[in-house]
Amino acid sequence: ALEDLNISGMMRRCRVKVDEKTGGFLKNGQSRKKGLNRSISDASWGELILNIEYLAAKQGKVVIKVNPKYSSQECRNCGHKDKYNRDGEKFICTECGYHEHADIGAAKTIRFRALNLVRGDSAKPGISA
């Protein structure tokens, strides 16, 4: 199971922001984004996905792409979505206090969403999934 990510969209440059009063440029997050773009292209995500799809097809397995929305902000215990649930590597639900490593939790959420697609149900997230 993979997140259905729009890689070219993620790597697009940020829109330029201009201060209406002074005409000068304002911070638009591009310098921060540059680091993200670099790590996306370093990891060659597109190539990695192709490789996974190739190997899966060779072994008769399926690759399922799931909606990536809020995968790192959604609590797997209670389903609460909040950007404040995530603090760097830590995930701590602001609603129920459930906590775990943010990346591992997001990976489990992706697996859960894929299983839901296969099973055709839309149950709430659960720790066991």
CB of 99 to Zn ion, least distance (A): 9
Rounded (to 5) percent helix, strand, coil in the chain? 40, 15, 45
Q: Which is nearer to Zn ion, 36 or 96 (CB)?
A: 96
CA–CA dist 3, 9 (Å, integer): 14
Q: Which is nearer to Zn ion, 33 or 80 (CB)?
A: 80
Residues 6+ apart with CB under 8 A from 81: 70, 73, 74, 75
CA–CA dist 126, 29 (Å, integer): 35
Q: Which is nearer to Zn ion, 33 or 99 (CB)?
A: 99
CB of 103 to Zn ion, least distance (A): 17
- Quote the DSSP letter at residue 12: S
CB of 129 to Zn ion, least distance (A): 14
Q: Which is nearer to Zn ion, 4 or 95 (CB)?
A: 95
CB of 127 to Zn ion, least distance (A): 10
Token pair 């839309």: residue: 122
Task: Give me the residues that bind Zn ion (CB under 5 A), please.
Answer: 75, 77-78, 80, 93, 95-96, 98
Token pair 């790192």: residue: 72
